[in-house]
């Protein structure tokens, strides 16, 4: 596979700017939380994020320079999928954190296997679709095997009570399969089948049912179930056009839950204002455009599907996170890629960026 001398510096620059914004806002959003609630220094979460960033940067550099043939080696892919599947099962037997079984607790950090399931599934599907592209509509050799793998991993993630990540995984996979040219009859049948399944999972658990009902009318219980949504809107509305200034936000002072993780976009809107929030969204939009362009210019079908999947992985999750902050979707518990505090999320997102930088070196 012929390669250019350099990677996509524009994509790298956009990702770097997003990460820097995330670091600044993590410190601003978490300093008071770290000292008053957890008894650590003000820079506790910031310094931990720097450690995660170093690990993610090493993974990114490795992946942007690795031979693309290794990425689609079936032994590597199936070993990776098997390991992540095992980690997802182990997480189910861990003590619950915030009522969920998403994490494996290690001595120095918590590992969230579902975050790494996303790039693993993207690479698996890219390899599978590249080989079966001409038989994409074959029910027994293509559609059912893909459906089984997706159902298995999405099911394990759902058992850990992570509906948002499972939904993101399915949406990214659906985009890749649609790009492969699946027939509209299968699109319709799958859509018809998924609607009641998604509805069942959204409403079957009490906490998810409450989130849906709260989303429809957060003002009905402003001090309890609707508290997060309303505080997020207050933060975004308070910021106005230019914001209150970095460090001057008020909703992070124990009003808005998880200001440095799930709702960091609300703090960005409060402290940097509408202009800052739009600038961040523009950076995500630019990153997505470069990612889709890399996919379009790929000479190899594996690289096309993998670049498409990596771009969707970041773009879809960013869209969902921002939509939750704006109360356009029920609360999902999804971090903002490259921005929110969280080692697994940051490393997985940088893995996707590293893969995109690798594929950008192919000759167009």
Tokens of 10: 């524009």
CA distance 361 to 334: 31
- Per-domain residue ranges of the chain: 9-359
Residue 260, pLDDT score: 92
CA distance 345 to 88: 15
CA distance 201 to 215: 16
Q: 56-60, 211-215, 324-328: which range is least confident on average?
A: 211-215
pLDDT (tens digit, 9 = 90+) per residue, 16-43?
999 999 999 999 999 988 888 777 888 9
DSSP letters, 114-160, are HHHHHHHHHHHHHHHHHHHGGGTT-IIIIIHHHHHHHHHHHHHHHHT
Residue 204 has pLDDT above 70, yes or no: no
Residue 1 has pLDDT above 60, yes or no: no
Residue 331 has pLDDT above 90, yes or no: no
Residue 220, pLDDT score: 66
Residue 63, pLDDT score: 95
Residue 4, pLDDT score: 61
pLDDT (tens digit, 9 = 90+) per residue, 161-195?
888 899 999 999 999 999 999 888 888 888 887 77
Average pLDDT over residues 314-339: 92
Query: pTM of this prediction?
Result: 0.93
What band does 52 get if pLDDT is binned at 50, 70 and 90?
very high
CA distance 18 to 77: 29
Residues 6+ apart with CB under 8 A from 355: 63, 64, 71, 119, 123, 306, 307, 310
Which helix (H) or strand (E) segment is 110 a member of? strand 110-111
Q: Give the SS3 label for residue 100.
A: strand
């Amino acid at each position: 596979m012929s390669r250019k001398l350099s990677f996509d510096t524009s994509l790298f620059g956009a990702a770097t700017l997003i990460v820097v914004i995330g670091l600044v806002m993590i410190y601003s959003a978490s300093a008071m939380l770290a000292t008053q609630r957890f008894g650590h220094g003000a820079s506790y979460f910031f310094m931990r994020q720097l450690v995660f960033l170093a690990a993610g940067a090493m993974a990114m550099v490795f992946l942007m320079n690795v031979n693309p043939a290794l990425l689609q080696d079936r032994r590597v892919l199936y070993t990776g999928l098997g390991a992540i599947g095992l980690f997802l099962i182990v997480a189910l037997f861990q003590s619950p954190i915030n009522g969920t079984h998403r994490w494996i607790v290690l001595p120095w950090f918590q590992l969230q296997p579902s975050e790494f399931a996303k790039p693993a599934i993207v690479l698996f599907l890219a390899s599978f679709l590249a080989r079966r592209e001409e038989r994409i509509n074959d029910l027994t050799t293509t559609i059912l095997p893909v459906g089984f793998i997706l159902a298995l991993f999405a099911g394990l993630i759902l058992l850990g009570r992570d509906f948002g990540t499972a939904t993101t995984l399915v949406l990214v996979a659906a985009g890749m399969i649609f790009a492969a040219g699946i027939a509209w009859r299968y699109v319709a049948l799958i859509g018809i089948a998924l609607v009641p399944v998604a509805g069942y999972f959204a409403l079957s658990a009490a906490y998810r049912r409450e989130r849906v009902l709260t989303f429809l009318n957060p003002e009905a219980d402003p001090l309890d179930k609707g508290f997060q949504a309303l505080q997020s809107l207050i933060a975004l509305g308070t910021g106005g056009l230019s914001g209150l200034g970095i460090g001057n936000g008020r909703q992070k002072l124990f009003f808005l839950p998880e200001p440095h993780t799930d709702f960091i976009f609300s703090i960005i809107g409060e402290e940097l204002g509408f202009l800052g929030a739009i600038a961040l969204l523009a950076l995500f939009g630019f990153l997505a455009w470069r990612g889709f362009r890399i996919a379009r210019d790929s000479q190899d079908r594996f690289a096309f599907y993998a670049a498409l999947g990596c771009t969707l992985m970041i773009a879809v999750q960013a869209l969902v996170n921002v939509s939750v902050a704006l109360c356009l979707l029920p609360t999902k518990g999804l971090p903002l890629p490259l921005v929110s505090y969280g080692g697994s999320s940051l490393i997985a997102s940088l893995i996707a960026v590293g893969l995109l930088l690798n594929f950008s070196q192919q000759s167009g």
